[in-house]
Amino acid sequence: MAHSFLDRFRTRAVPAQPLLSNGPAQVRAYWEALRQGSALPSRATLDPRGFAGVLDRVFLADRIGKGLVQVTVAGSALCEFAGTDLRGLPLSCLFDPGSRPVLAEALEQVLAGPSVAEIDLGSDRERQGLGVARLLLLPLGADGDRQQVLGAMGLAEGLRPCKLQVLGRRMEELSLPHTEPAQVPGPAPVGRGSHLRLVAVNA
């Protein structure tokens, strides 16, 4: 079909971005509500009821190396998308090889910052630049030497299993309360010239 000269200037329809679930927004709101005095919430304070309606898109992961976390708890929607039980697997298994270094860098900032990360994701099966998912990464308070991440993923409706690609990310550094070291009291001062005096008592 021949195109006229004016066709160059006509507005072309741009495919709409898929509608993503609101899982990340709800999880972020609940996590913020758990922060007391700006401190990070701990794993023990998390209540599944706080994730009502989006629990199937939530996961927990432990740090196992620099920029590397292992999934310990995963919602059913995430496992269905992955095509397998994600527990015991690295989060990076959901990503294509080219995006894994970017994910690792974001995870390291989340844990070491600490920071909050929001990552826009595409698919290796869809048109380049088309957002199909959004990943939220939130730091949790350290449990001894254990560092954990609370995460949520908003998936486009009907998204088929694929390898995710990082399209963009937003990092938000957190400000934590400064804790002063406890002051250890020293010995009580002894007054100058103080001494013991023996007093003789007549029998």
121 near 132, Cβ under 8 Å? Answer: yes
Determine, yes or no, domain membership for 123: yes
DSSP state of 156: B
For the chain, the domain total comes to 1
Determine, yes or no, domain membership for 17: no
pLDDT in tens, 43-52: 999 999 999 9
Range of the domain at 140: 23-172
105 near 136, Cβ under 8 Å? Answer: no
CATH code assigned at 59: 3.30.450.20
Determine, yes or no, domain membership for 132: yes
Residue 90: strand, helix, or coil: strand
| Positive or negative torsion for Cα 105, 111, 112, 115 | positive
pLDDT in tens, 31-65: 999 997 779 999 999 999 999 999 999 999 999 99
Determine, yes or no, domain membership for 121: yes
Paired residues of 125 in beta bridges: none
Q: Identify the pLDDT of residue 192.
A: 53
- As a whole number of Å, the CA-based R_g of the chain is 27
Determine, yes or no, domain membership for 78: yes
Contacts with 170 (C-beta within 8 Å, 6 or more apart), sequence order: 117, 118, 119
Phi, psi of 55, deg, nearest 5: -60, -30
Distance in angstroms (rounded) separating the CA atoms of residues 56 and 80: 10
What's the mean pLDDT when you consider all of the chain? 83
Determine, yes or no, domain membership for 184: no
| Lowest pLDDT segment from 56-60, 99-103, 108-112, 156-160 | 156-160
Among 39, 170, 57, which residue's Cα sits nearest to residue 110? 170
Determine, yes or no, domain membership for 15: no
- Range 125-152 average pLDDT: 90
DSSP state of 159: P
Determine, yes or no, domain membership for 190: no
